[in-house]
Structure 1
Amino acid sequence: MPAANTDRASTDYFPRLAAERLDIALCRASTAVARAADARAGALGIGVGQHLVLKMLAEAGPCSQRVLSDELRIDRTVMVGICDGLEQAGHVRRERNVADRRAYAVTITDSGRRLLAQAEDAVPEFLDGTFQALSPTEREQLSGILGKLLRPRSETTSQ
């Protein structure tokens, strides 16, 4: 009895599964992009979460860790570690929130702005390499579709 061609079966299976199960395809694509982002960020000396926090602080101004966590969809316990690391490196500082003395506002420093600028300079090349299989139109479509998926449920059900 001839042996089954297990190599062919294994290389043909995932594309079929991904076509049948959009959730699995999206999870695997997300994992691949996250790994590539982590590798790029590591080479720059800044984690993806750190990059996101610095970017939000630069654009939105001082925020509490809770707001950063909620807006960036980063677990609150993870956010504490991100902010601790950024503070220890001198890229952010924590100050009493004048509106709520029980809370602290996280503020980006000049050092954080410089690190953010370096990280942002690397983004276009990273995106081009990561999404090279997609045309500019497909990238725009993907961005629109993902934007719909990431909106709060209340927004998507009212449309």
Structure 2
Amino acid sequence: MSALHDPSAPTGPANDSQRSRRGEFFAQLADRRPDIALCKASLLAVRTAEEAAALHGITLAQHMILQMLDAVGPASQQALSDELRIDRSTMVRCIDALEKGGHVQRHRDSADRRAYSVHLTESGRTLLADADQEVPGVLKQTLAPLTDGERADLTRLLAKLVTGTAPGA
């Protein structure tokens, strides 16, 4: 089921009227409270991305872990947790599942024998490549109401917001 449409939701004139009032309420609220609009948009994006990741038997958190390991190389669970803002107990479950599937391996950290570093396997790279093929469709579905220019502006503004600088600056 798409995060954008719930086929089990009741339809009809009364529900259409309620949906219209809710839409007006959120539009007015977004004008006054961009933080709430950002949260609502984020939830929509996360739900859609979770659905896409699930097609490959992983969670969005696991997909992000695979992406980070592919981009930066082996990392400790703590570093992954801190950078990806994933709760440590959730991180352990994610890594356990990825390891069980053969997508990552834990190795003793050569600098700190008490710690482990998480390494991406070839199976993990293949899974990541397959899952990443879904990303353009997810982005298109999530950002469908925006024009190409608005999408570019949103991307630039979000990058500036999360990094504190504009891309390429």
TM-score of the superposition, structure 1-length normalised? 0.85
Question: 2:46 corresponds to which residue?
Answer: 34
Is 1:51–2:63 an aligned residue pair? yes
- Shift of the 127–110 alpha-carbon distance from structure 1 to 2, 3 Å rule, reads same
Is 1:113–2:125 an aligned residue pair? yes
Cα distance in 2 for residues equivalent to 1:147 and 1:119: 23
The offset of 1:149, in angstroms, is 2.1
- Shift of the 100–46 alpha-carbon distance from structure 1 to 2, 3 Å rule, reads same
SS at match of 1:44: coil
Q: When the two structures are aligned, how many residues end up with a matched partner?
A: 150
Deviations 1:40-88 (A, max 9, x none): 1112212111111111111211100111111112122211111111011
Give the 5 Å matches for 1:55-74.
55-74=67-86
Give the 5 Å matches for 1:87-126.
87-126=99-138
Which of 123, 140, 147 is the equivalent residue of 2:159? 147
- Shift of the 93–7 alpha-carbon distance from structure 1 to 2, 3 Å rule, reads closer
Q: Which amino acid aligns with 1:113?
A: R
- Shift of the 56–7 alpha-carbon distance from structure 1 to 2, 3 Å rule, reads closer
Question: 2:10 corresponds to which residue?
Answer: none
How large is the Cα RMSD of the aligned pairs?
2.0
- Shift of the 117–10 alpha-carbon distance from structure 1 to 2, 3 Å rule, reads closer
Give identity over the alignment, percent. Answer: 47
Q: Which amino acid aligns with 1:94?
A: R
Q: Which has the higher helix share?
A: 1
The offset of 1:95, in angstroms, is 0.4
Question: 1:15 corresponds to which residue?
Answer: 27
Uncovered stretches (5+) of structure 1, i.e. residues with no partner = none
Cα distance in 1 for residues equivalent to 2:75 and 2:82: 11
Which of 82, 88, 92 is the equivalent residue of 1:80? 92
Question: 2:14 corresponds to which residue?
Answer: none
The offset of 1:101, in angstroms, is 1.1
